[in-house]
């Protein structure tokens, strides 16, 4: 029996409409996402410039995909948006990711966010407590009775603030005023003497604190190792803010570090996540150029520090480079 001619014509029409360019496209390109929305944080933090740099890398790796960047309230909001399918990639702090995976209601997650998938460990955030020099604040104990900003509500910074202040024996009720503001707004209030201190969880050299330190004299408040130990979470590790990270900071200051992660969700295609993971590690210089925190991103640190299931696209890349079996 002769094969009907219509299907053959239809196939020819489809191929003709696609043109020669389609024939030259790789299988990866054909399987791309149509849209990738990168969820970041406030524009005065590190997540936003890092997200912009990632979007530039991914726009080239996925040439037929529209890659956009969204400024958000950061970690907790990003993870809830991913769970709802309102973003494809997001940056988040490690403790927020752990809380989301478990469904910690106090941290802003009403149920476990089981659609999340880890893509890569990134650089470490450093919890930086910075006071106006004329506030009289020199130690954590001096914070009592002062006016503080702890980051946007339920942001990664605010969750960090709760943990660190509790470990230092302080509650929000111990302060004269508690503001829940993004980094840039916190700094503006400090410049105007409407706040005494800001707590910011970000990469070293974050633009907001650099701006503050050039405008008014500051004190970077130490968080000693014994306070780090009292947090009681392995995600928090002792670290140092090196001397001269900020104008007027002439000595090393003890602090806490917590790892950031790049996260996706189960609905994003394996091929797209593979391409994004691979291209990110092949273009780390672009991330360093966007912010010095990018220096902390390494392949070796990509797969440690979280119990969240890795996206199969990311896992495919890590198997190729010998990091996963």
Closest C-alpha to 38, from 90, 116, 94, 92: 90
For the cut 90, the answer to whether the pLDDT of residue 15 exceeds it is: no
This prediction's pTM = 0.79
Task: Average the pLDDT over 283-294 and give the result.
Answer: 95
User: Taken in order 129, 132, 135, 139, is the CA torsion positive or negative?
Assistant: positive
Q: Is 251 helix (H, G, I), strand (E, B) or coil?
A: coil
Report how far residue 257's alpha carbon sits from residue 246's, in angstroms, rounded to the nearest whole number.
Answer: 17
**CATH second-level architecture of 31-123+260-320?**
3-Layer(aba) Sandwich (3.40)
Task: Average the pLDDT over 44-66 and give the result.
Answer: 95
Report how far residue 215's alpha carbon sits from residue 202's, in angstroms, rounded to the nearest whole number.
Answer: 20
Q: What percent of the chain has pLDDT over 90?
A: 80
For the cut 90, the answer to whether the pLDDT of residue 153 exceeds it is: no
Please, are residues 72 and 81 in contact by the beta-carbon 8 Å criterion?
A: yes
Q: DSSP of 198-210, one letter per residue?
A: EEEEE-TT-HHHH
Confidence class of residue 133 from pLDDT cuts 50, 70 and 90? very high
Displacement of CA 157 from its chain's centroid (Å): 11
Displacement of CA 264 from its chain's centroid (Å): 12
* Average pLDDT for the chain: 89
State the pLDDT at residue 33: 66
For the cut 80, the answer to whether the pLDDT of residue 12 exceeds it is: no
Please, are residues 104 and 163 in contact by the beta-carbon 8 Å criterion?
A: no
Confidence class of residue 254 from pLDDT cuts 50, 70 and 90? very high
Q: 218-251, pLDDT tens digit by residue?
A: 999 999 999 999 998 878 889 999 999 999 999 9
Closest C-alpha to 169, from 109, 224, 102, 122: 224
State the pLDDT at residue 27: 41
For the cut 50, the answer to whether the pLDDT of residue 179 exceeds it is: yes
Query: 186-193: long-range contacts at Cβ-Cβ below 8 A with a sequence spacing of 24 or more?
Result: 186/149, 186/151, 187/44, 187/211, 187/212, 189/149, 190/132, 190/149, 190/216, 191/215, 191/216, 193/132
For the cut 90, the answer to whether the pLDDT of residue 55 exceeds it is: yes
Task: Average the pLDDT over 180-198 and give the result.
Answer: 96
Domains 31-123+260-320 and 125-259 share a fold: yes
Domain ranges of the chain: 31-123+260-320, 125-259
Q: What percent of the chain has pLDDT over 70?
A: 90
Please, are residues 144 and 196 in contact by the beta-carbon 8 Å criterion?
A: no
For the cut 70, the answer to whether the pLDDT of residue 18 exceeds it is: no
For the cut 60, the answer to whether the pLDDT of residue 14 exceeds it is: no
Displacement of CA 93 from its chain's centroid (Å): 6
State the pLDDT at residue 28: 43
Range with the poorest average pLDDT among 32-46, 125-139, 192-206: 32-46
Highest mean pLDDT of the ranges 156-170, 234-248, 309-323: 309-323
For the cut 80, the answer to whether the pLDDT of residue 29 exceeds it is: no
For the cut 90, the answer to whether the pLDDT of residue 32 exceeds it is: no
Q: 66-121, pLDDT tens digit by residue?
A: 999 999 999 999 999 999 999 999 999 998 999 999 999 988 899 999 999 999 99
Confidence class of residue 5 from pLDDT cuts 50, 70 and 90? very low
Phi, psi (deg, nearest 5) at residue 182: -60, 165
Task: Average the pLDDT over 278-289 and give the result.
Answer: 98
Q: Which CATH number fits domain 125-259: 2.60.40.420, 3.40.50.970, 3.30.420.10, 3.40.190.10?
A: 3.40.190.10
User: From start to end of 207-324, where are the E strands?
Assistant: 218-221, 236-241, 253-265
């Amino acid at each position: 029996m002769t094969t009907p001619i219509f299907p053959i014509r239809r196939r020819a029409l489809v191929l003709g409409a696609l043109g020669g360019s389609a024939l030259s496209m790789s299988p990866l390109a054909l399987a791309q996402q149509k849209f990738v929305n990168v969820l970041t944080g406030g524009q005065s933090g590190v997540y936003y410039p890092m997200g912009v740099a990632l979007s530039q890398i991914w726009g080239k790796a996925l040439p037929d995909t529209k890659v956009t960047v969204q400024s958000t309230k950061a970690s907790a909001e990003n993870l809830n948006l991913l769970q709802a399918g309102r973003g494809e990639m997001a940056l988040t702090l490690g403790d927020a990711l752990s809380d989301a995976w478990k469904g910690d209601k106090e941290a802003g997650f009403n149920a476990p966010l089981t659609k999340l998938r880890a893509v890569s460990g990134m650089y470490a955030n450093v919890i930086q407590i910075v006071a106006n020099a004329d506030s009289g604040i020199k130690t954590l104990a001096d914070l009592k009775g002062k006016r503080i900003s702890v980051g946007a509500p339920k942001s990664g910074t605010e969750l960090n603030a709760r943990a660190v202040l509790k470990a230092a024996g302080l509650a929000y009720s111990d302060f004269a005023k508690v503001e829940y503001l993004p980094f840039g707004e916190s700094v503006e209030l400090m410049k105007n003497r409407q706040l005494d201190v800001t707590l910011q969880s970000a990469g070293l050299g974050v633009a907001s604190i650099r701006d503050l330190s050039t405008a008014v004299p500051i004190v970077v408040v130490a968080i000693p190792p014994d306070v780090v130990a009292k947090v009681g979470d392995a995600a928090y590790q002792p670290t140092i803010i090196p001397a001269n990270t900020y104008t007027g900071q002439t000595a090393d200051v003890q602090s806490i570090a917590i790892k950031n992660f790049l996260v996706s969700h189960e609905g994003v295609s394996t091929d797209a996540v593979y391409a994004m993971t691979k291209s990110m590690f092949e273009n780390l210089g672009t991330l360093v150029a966007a912010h010095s925190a990018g220096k902390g991103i390494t392949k070796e640190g990509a797969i440690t520090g979280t119990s969240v299931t890795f996206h199969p696209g990311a896992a495919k890349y890590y198997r190729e480079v010998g990091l996963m079996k």
